[in-house]
Amino acid sequence: MKQLLLIFAILMGGLGLQAQQQPIKLVFDVSSASEDVHKSAARHLDLMSAAYPESEFEMVVYSGAIDLVSKDNSPAAETMRKVLERGNVSVKVCQMTMDRHEMAVDDLIPGITPVPDGIYEIISKQQQGWGYIKEGQ
């Protein structure tokens, strides 16, 4: 009986490992003006996209988080540039937020793409089955 339980435990453990290695799709929602949140969000995107290269990650920036994607003002510019070089990461910024802050595409860290509406982008990803993380502290 003990051997049967041991075999069952080993098999269940193997299934758990296999499930954790399935590729995921995850969208990060960043709207806070806090530099600490910007650094934390960039770090999370960096660590997860490196650890799970078969998965897809998208960060959507809007509202007070606009400095996170600014090539001149981002407290996490180096990390953002690094993650944007990976094939499994995209970063989107709300065009309405850019307009409100009088920002142009040339003001963004290269590789960041505007979308018409950041919230709509997030909802669209969720409807496609993407997981959701709200970055904030």
Domain of 25, CATH number, reads 3.40.1260.10
**Assigned domain for 1 exists:** no
* Structural domain includes residue 102: yes
Partners of 31 in the β-ladder: none
Residue-wise over 45-81: b if at least 16 C-beta within 10 A, else e?
bbebbeebeebbbbbbbbbbbbbbbbeeebbbbebbb
Whether 12 is covered by a domain: the verdict is: no
CB 56 within 8 A of CB 88: yes
The answer to the question of residue 5 being in a domain is no
Residue type, position 11, single letter: L
Q: How many domains does the chain divide into?
A: 1
Q: Is position 3 within any domain?
A: no
Question: For residue 52, is it within any domain?
Answer: yes
pTM equals: 0.84
pLDDT of 9: 58
pLDDT tens digits, residue range 8-58? Answer: 555 555 555 555 679 999 999 999 999 999 999 999 999 999 999 999 999
